[in-house]
Structure 1
Amino acid sequence: MEYSPVSPQAEPAERAAEAALRPSSLVEFEGQPRVREQLGLVLAAARHRGAVPDHVLLSGPPGLGKTTLAMIIAAEMGVPLHITSGPAIQHAGDLAAILSGLVAGEVLFLDEIHRMSRPAEEMLYLAMEDFRVDVVVGKGPGATAIPIDIPPFTLVGATTRAGLLPGPLRDRFGFTAQLDYYEVEDLAEIAKRSAVKLGFDLDDESARVVASRSRGTPRIVNRLLRRVRDYAQVNNGGRVTEELSVAALELYEVDELGLDRLDRGVLEAICLKFGGGPVGLSTLAISVGEETETVEEVAEPFLVRQGFLMRTPRGRVATAAGWAHLGLNPPQGAREGLFP
């Protein structure tokens, strides 16, 4: 096969196409119907009053659209969007600089808000309620607090661990939305919409193949879709079929339920190396050559959600469903729904 030289315009066009995969309005936002309806009402009421919307807290696992919703809020209100993150704000002065630079009505998106430092968090309380910050000048007995008014703004906080947010901060949000994993039908629609924006045709069967292996997450849908596109361009002249989609995802070691190499490695280690468990997290991580945080935060949540793995006080244990997914016969205890 002959390959033509890369056009200087190809890479910017590709980046623009990938950025365009995000929906730009609530109407385009597939899935999460309850959140979409509730948020739409909040924004419509704010526009009717001519006021800034209440502060919004978005919580849920990674990849479900929290950043996208923040962008949509700004677009729906026709105001600028300022994006930052909790880990980037380690001092109250960092937050004061950001807040004092906002324009009236602007949306401030604060990702991973639960990782913000405590001094900055306490400054945020006053800013959210009274649109004011107190900047302390000097030290010791001579220190003086200078109040600085800031224009009305909307804070959109995003977190993957809502339980780590202190109550006083959580209570200051006027609207809280919990994003859930998507249904396969919604993911298939997202895949078809993204395929159009990437410039190729995707039939219903191929879209469902990609959606069913995307772990209920739009971000993974778009990632797998690009790999299917690449496979089709190299092997089938760019034409995507159901059979080709399956072959492409098998090449990238994504099985019919969405388990990847790491997921299967963890499950196989528990079943084949440790007899189904229980096995400790650190031992399990060493056996698959990964960090404990990677196993605990990346692989385990999906395996537990699929019913393949169970966390117990004694360690991780494979369920009967986990054994069956690997095509193995579980021990008698697992067949009976018990664990070693």
Structure 2
Amino acid sequence: MTELDEDGPGRDEVALDPHRQATEQDVERTLRPHHLAEFIGQPRVREQLELVLRGALNRGDQPDHVLFSGPPGLGKTSLAMIIAAELGAAIRVTSGPALERPGDLAAMLSNLAEGDVLFIDEIHRIARPAEEMLYLAMEDYRVDVVVGKGPGATSIPLEIAPFTLVGATTRSGALTGPLRDRFGFTAHMEFYVPAELEQVLRRSAGILGVDLRDDGAVEIARRSRGTPRIANRLLRRVRDYAEVRSDGAVTREIARAALEVYDVDEIGLDRLDRAVLGALVHSFGGGPVGISSMAVAVGEESTTVEEVCEPFLVRAGLLARTPRGRVATAAGWAHLGLPAPENAPGGQSATLFDV
């Protein structure tokens, strides 16, 4: 499954990076649910997906192609594997960047057996020539392989076995219209609320053999940025702290002490998040300021600030994006313990995760 490994933009603090880290494959495989009934959260998506799968099984048909969109770490890959398990089918896994040439895709499609599931992660990054070949495969279960070059080139039609394509994307807006329209079922994954993350943590703790107390689960959940992958990662880090510096039980006090060591604050901000927010307030007077200027101020790449830090700061209500640039909200000033100027957007100091 090396094709799926897509580390987030370079940074030292990976505990709160929602992208999958290369060292997490085995752990994630252990913690993944294997059936739809085991999957926690996303109730609307689960209900819709169950209807799609059960209807196809009852008719003896191949299910429609499925597209999952949403931020990283919310369970798109897990649901793809669950689809294969529910159908009793094999699954082939690849990623958009790995499909650079039509031949790469044709080779993979020709090796599919009838009823197989093909999962393409980050499908919006598939190369255009391969994407155009995928259109025909999704609709007619056929690909045209071009042999030769120039005037002597010949197109050979190649029949492929009926299959179900499951695509996942973190940027649904980057999908081309023709590709999006060929999916029979599309679903958007939402961020988890703390109560759902507590269920995820308890299930993971049971699998990993962690003595997780209820108050410890509450503390980790509210600092996990609404993302199960981050919750499981923090659970493992708190487990390490509990085993080394305590009796192994993860209580609220232990979770707080451990997450302080890992620079994760009360609402899930890490060192870089606080540096970005602090630079916006202290160096730029709360903004507006461009993303490049903020990145220079904190010594990071602009893509890191834009793709890893900014989405959470915006969701938490600490930062706002305006046509003139990024500005700190009243809640952002309050989180730093500073009085907000009168022109700061928003008058609420509560954050997204005060629920």
TM-score greater than 0.5 by the shorter chain: yes
Please give the per-residue CA displacement for 1:26-73, whole angstroms capped at 9, x wherever unaligned.
111000000001101111111112222110000000111000100111
In the TM superposition, residue 312 of structure 1 has moved relative to its aligned partner by: 1.8
Question: Cα RMSD between the aligned structures?
Answer: 1.4
1:178 equivalent in alignment to 2:188 = yes
Kindly indicate whether the alpha-carbon contact (under 8 Å) linking 2:331 and 2:346 is maintained by their aligned counterparts in 1: no
Choose from 297, 300, 308 the match for 2:307: 297
1:77 equivalent in alignment to 2:87 = yes
Q: Report 1:90-129 matches (<5 A).
A: 90-129=100-139
Choose from 29, 49, 74 the match for 1:39: 49
In the TM superposition, residue 195 of structure 1 has moved relative to its aligned partner by: 0.4
In the TM superposition, residue 174 of structure 1 has moved relative to its aligned partner by: 0.8
In our comparison, the structure showing a higher alpha carbon Rg is 1
- Could you tell me which runs of 5 or more consecutive residues in structure 1 were left unpaired when the two chains were aligned: 1-13
Choose from 30, 35, 38 the match for 1:25: 35
In the TM superposition, residue 16 of structure 1 has moved relative to its aligned partner by: 5.5
User: Counterpart of 1:156 in 2: which secondary structure?
Assistant: strand
Amino acid at match of 1:119: P
In the other structure, the counterpart of 2:217 is 207
In the TM superposition, residue 251 of structure 1 has moved relative to its aligned partner by: 1.1
With over 3 angstroms needed to count, the CA separation of the structure-2 counterparts of 1:335 and 1:90, relative to structure 1, is closer
Stretch moving more, 33-42 or 138-147: 138-147
Choose from 158, 162, 175 the match for 2:168: 158
In the TM superposition, residue 203 of structure 1 has moved relative to its aligned partner by: 1.9
CA distance in 2, matches of 1:49, 1:18: 33
Amino acid at match of 2:145: V
Percent identity between matched residues is: 68
In the other structure, the counterpart of 2:270 is 260
- Could you tell me which runs of 5 or more consecutive residues in structure 2 were left unpaired when the two chains were aligned: 1-23, 348-355
Choose from 236, 240, 248 the match for 2:250: 240
With over 3 angstroms needed to count, the CA separation of the structure-2 counterparts of 1:152 and 1:36, relative to structure 1, is same
In the TM superposition, residue 109 of structure 1 has moved relative to its aligned partner by: 0.3
1:314 equivalent in alignment to 2:324 = yes
With over 3 angstroms needed to count, the CA separation of the structure-2 counterparts of 1:245 and 1:151, relative to structure 1, is same
Please give the per-residue CA displacement for 1:245-292, whole angstroms capped at 9, x wherever unaligned.
111111111111111111111000011111111222111101111000
User: Counterpart of 1:334 in 2: which secondary structure?
Assistant: coil
User: Counterpart of 1:230 in 2: which secondary structure?
Assistant: helix
CA distance in 2, matches of 1:312, 1:45: 45
Amino acid at match of 2:168: A
Amino acid at match of 1:177: A
Please give the per-residue CA displacement for 1:289-335, whole angstroms capped at 9, x wherever unaligned.
10000000110011111111111222211111100011111223228
Kindly indicate whether the alpha-carbon contact (under 8 Å) linking 1:18 and 1:198 is maintained by their aligned counterparts in 2: no
Instruction: Tell me which stretches of 4 or more aligned residues in structure 1 moved more than 3 Å.
Output: 14-18
Kindly indicate whether the alpha-carbon contact (under 8 Å) linking 2:273 and 2:309 is maintained by their aligned counterparts in 1: yes
Report how many aligned residue pairs link the two structures.
324
Kindly indicate whether the alpha-carbon contact (under 8 Å) linking 1:64 and 1:180 is maintained by their aligned counterparts in 2: yes
User: Counterpart of 1:102 in 2: which secondary structure?
Assistant: coil
